[in-house]
Structure 1
Amino acid sequence: MGEASSDDLCHCQGCLGKYTLLRDEENPQLAKFERRLPCFGCGIGWSSFLLGFLCPLLWYYATTLYCCKYYNRDPRERPGLAASAIAAAIFTTAATITLSIILIIWAQK
């Protein structure tokens, strides 16, 4: 990324020139991520994470999106998709251990 020109920097005392403008008429890409995220503003990742406690298949759906780099469309989706991927891994591990223990106990009877 290139340096921002001195015209793009804030000149107020509170900011001290640390922040750049969100919108620039010459470069409309700067305002690309101003729109709201889907799913009531939470994004697909966080919505899948929360709803995954009711239906764990949503964690696997979000994990697929994470592995396919869906977050390249909107980088704000990355944390939620990563959280869902971690939840899917934990759920899979816990389910595998639980089923293994149940099968061992059942086989001993």
Structure 2
Amino acid sequence: MKPTGYQADAGKGDEGDYKLIRDEEDHFLGLYDKPLPCFGCGIGWFSFLLGFVFPPMWYYATFLYFTNYYHKDPRERIGLATSAIAALVCTVVALIVVAVILL
């Protein structure tokens, strides 16, 4: 079985010679090799977890989500979206609490 990403060199006719198909100059090959910021979990998930202690972090991550910050690293999208949902829930709960107190 041939390794993935390699192709047999057809010119030599030797089954043991392989050459790399991918371009070594391509800068997207190592995109996911580097760890995410904020202790490796990403800004979105870090903001989500920290938001339980300091809720404005959810709104910060929501701002990053709506400004398409995740285009820098697509792995950030899920965490930022989760923080945006948490900010929405926090806002709805705060509005309900204010409505109950005032009525």
Decide: shared fold, TM above 0.5.
Answer: yes
Point out the structure with max Rg over C-alpha.
2
Sequence identity of aligned pairs in percent? 57
C-alpha separation in 2, matches of 1:7 and 1:89: 44
In structure 2, the residue corresponding to 1:102 is in which secondary structure? helix
C-alpha separation in 2, matches of 1:35 and 1:27: 15
In structure 1, the residue corresponding to 2:34 is in which secondary structure? coil
What is the number of residues matched between the two proteins?
88
Report the TM-score when normalising by structure 1: 0.73
Distance of aligned partners of 1:26 and 1:80 in 2 relative to their CA distance in 1, 3 Å threshold: same
Matches within 5 A, 1:1-109: 8=5, 24-104=23-103
Report the TM-score when normalising by structure 2: 0.77
Cα drift, residue 32 of structure 1: 1.8
What are the ranges of 5 or more consecutive residues in structure 1 without an aligned counterpart?
1-5, 11-20, 105-109
RMSD: 2.3
C-alpha separation in 2, matches of 1:34 and 1:61: 26
What are the ranges of 5 or more consecutive residues in structure 2 without an aligned counterpart?
8-19
